[in-house]
Amino acid sequence: MTYKSLIAFGVVFTLAAPAQAQEFVASLSGWDLRSGANAALLLEVHGKPRWDYGWVQLGLGAAAGADTEGSAWIGGGVVAEAPLSNRWFVEASVMPGYYHPGTPQADLGSDFEVRSLLGLGYRFDNGNALSVAAGHLSNASISNLNPGANGILLRYHRSF
């Protein structure tokens, strides 16, 4: 993990007041950055839901992550959760942010990259959860180069 990555993690978790957090999420993933799969760690904080549409709750979140090649991303945006039953849920998020490629092969075309995520999770009796999600980084074609990066994430949710 690079020095810049550590700074990114610190900024996210310093700015995210734990009193406002509903949960912290730690994810391990493999990202395909055109140069092959890279292991990555992603940490998130999700705030308490601000909007409730009956079947789905929306809130704000922030995230930061880094991979084994020195690439790092930090962002924030909207997180959503919709229950499928008492225990099962669907999660989604869209978070624009800053991306720093660790290698030339990991260049995604822009410093601005949006992370989108869709996952399926299971909530335990204590409120914590485990989920599996698919994530995508893209600059939404604001750059001539937009290869994107895809990842599968194993996520642990620590509720408060």
Q: Which residues contact 127 (CB under 8 A, 6 or more apart)?
A: 159
How confident is the model at residue 3, as a pLDDT? 47
Asked whether residue 11 carries a pLDDT value surpassing 90, the answer given is no
Which is nearest to 97 in space by CA: 77, 83, 80, 70? 77
Region 149-160: mean pLDDT is 93
Measured CA to CA, the distance from residue 100 to residue 143 in angstroms comes to: 15
Strands (E), 51-128: 51-52, 57-67, 72-83, 88-100, 112-123
The whole domain housing 64 covers: 3-159
Is residue 22 very low, low, confident or very high in pLDDT (cuts 50, 70, 90)?
Answer: confident
Q: What average pLDDT does the structure give for the chain? A: 87
60-91 pLDDT, tens per residue?
999 999 988 889 999 999 999 999 999 999 99
The model's pLDDT over 113-146, given as tens digits with 9 standing for 90+, comes to 999 999 999 999 999 999 999 999 999 999 999 9
Specify the CATH number for the domain of residue 145: 2.40.160.20
Structural domain total, the chain:
1
